[in-house]
Amino acid sequence: MAEDVTKTADVAVMPGGWAGVRGGVLQALQGSKGYYAALIISGLLLLAAVAAGLHAKYIGTMYAYGASREVPWGILISTYVFFVVTSTGLCLVSAIGHVFGVKDFMPIAKRAIFLSIMTIMAGFFVIAFEIENPFRMAIYNVISPNLTSNIWWMGTLYGAYMFFMAIEFTFLVLNKPKIATIIGFMGVVAGVAAHSNLGAVFGMLHGREFWYGPYMPIYFIASAMMSGAATIIFFTWLAYKANGQKMDAAMKRALEVTTKVGILLISVILFFTAWKFITGFVGGEAKTAALDMLLTGSYAFNFWVLEVAVGMVIPLALFILSKGQNLKLIVTASALMIFGIFFMRYDLVIVGQLVPVYYELGVNEYTQMLSYTPSAHEILIVMGGIGFVGLTFLLGEKIFNGHKSEIH
């Protein structure tokens, strides 16, 4: 029996086709203790999230979640945003090589595409517990679409995006890179359209000053690239670490150029953030109040430490110091970025709602800023989303044999 497994696993080392995948499945059964431990932890996180989500539905989300009438969107929405931004970013970074033909980027493409599918699924997993009636959604999104709704476009386009990415990945596994490239291009178009619509979900709310305007869709796309670069660097490193393999020159070069993408996009987002604040301070009282919360108020730690320092400035410095060569610095930078960006999304979604809509009316009921604290149910579901990415990443590395690329 053990012999058989080894035999099949040997076949899997040879690249390509479903035979390799079959071998990979068997290979997944042979892993180090650390691999299994990570797999089990991820799986447990996922199960705990399902339990928490179902329990929340059972007792009513009003009781289970921290979200309220005044702050209807909580950490589940911001985590959804985090995952889909990451997914779009991975898709875009993978497309530089795989769709647009920049050779240096090709070694990271396959893993990036796989992770982009898994991160969007993690996003859908989290939002499934946020949406009160997913079954109604399945029906009425189709038979009663509202074409002025960005939520509708976002959902529909992300559906198309996930479909294209899955097909693209399948063709890559089947060793048909030409068709994969065409489908990949469609994936990019759907992804950009979907993602800018997600930005517009916030940007089109003309009653919410903090979000309203053309800034959000543009910011979201730039921000996605930033996330994508960080995520692919981190997971590529993790994969090699887990497999105990050494990177070849092409992969090292790929990480070096991805680092450059990281440097560029962090700079862009710093620039965007600076102007958001500078323009915001000449705005109305409500907008200024939101910005104050981030600069000096209750979200100042999140903003200065997590978003600015951990999410952008320190990684930028590390990326530059690494000269694209020092892997330790590069990986530390990308891990910090992923962590910081999670809070970037959180602040964006939450702070946008914390200024009461009647703040400027000056009524006694709304003299203070609102507050929101994630509940245990919500945090468990978020952890489950992370568990889902962990679980599928680990399985994917084995099943698809370390995403060894045939296209470079």
Partner 1 sequence: MILNKIKIEGLKKEDPGIIPAMERRAFLKMGLLITGVFAGGSVLSATSIVEKAFASSGEFAEKYPYKPHYSMVIHQDRCIDCELCMTACVKTNNVPTYGYRTRVFERDDQKATERKREFIPVLCNQCNNPPCVLGCPTKATYKNPTNGIVMMESKKCIGCKTCMAACPYNARYFNEETSAVDKCDFCFNSRLSKGEKLTACAEACPAKCRVFGDLSDSGSEVYQAVHNLEKTVWVLRPDAGAKPNVFYMKG
| Interface residue list for partner 1 (CB under 8 A) | 60-62, 67, 69-70, 72-73, 130-134, 136-137, 140-141, 144-146, 148-152, 155, 201, 204-209, 284, 353, 356-358, 360-366
Is 122 exposed, middle or buried (CB count within 10 Å of its CB: 0-12, 13-18, 19+)? buried
Structure tokens at 288: 């200024």
110: its two tokens:
């396959």
- The H or E element spanning position 245 is none
d(CA 7, CA 22) in angstroms, rounded, equals 12
CB of 2 to partner 1, least distance (A): 51
Question: What's the one-letter identity of residue 84?
Answer: V
Smallest distance, partner 1 to C-beta of residue 380, A: 20
**Token pair for 335:** 């891990």
The CB-of-103 to partner 1 minimum distance in angstroms stands at: 41
Q: Where are the alpha helices (DSSP H) in 281-324?
A: 285-295, 300, 314-322
Q: How far is the CB of 87 from partner 1 (least distance, A)?
A: 19
d(CA 23, CA 41): 24
Least gap, CB of 295 to partner 1 (angstroms): 22
Q: Enter the DSSP assignment of 132.
A: S
In 51-108, beta strands by DSSP E: none
- Nearest approach in angstroms of CB 166 to partner 1 is 23
Nearer to partner 1, 38 or 67 (CB): 67
Residue in the block written with tokens 């109604």: 136
Of 131 and 182, which CB lies nearer to partner 1 in the complex structure?
131
Please name the residue that has the structure tokens 């993690």: 122
C-beta of 15 vs 134, nearer to partner 1? 134
| Shortest distance (Å) from residue 47 CB to partner 1 | 24
The closest of 182, 133, 132, 127 to 159, measured between CA atoms, is 127
Minimal distance, residue 196 CB to partner 1, in Å: 16
**Both structure tokens of 274:** 């600076």
Q: Which amino acid is at 260?
A: K
Are 358 and 351 in contact by the 8 Å Cβ rule? The answer is no
Residue 151: exposed, middle, or buried by beta-carbon count in 10 A (0-12, 13-18, 19+)?
middle
Task: Give Cβ neighbours of residue 285 (< 8 Å, ≥ 6 apart).
Answer: 359, 360
Enter the tokens of residue 29: 């059964």
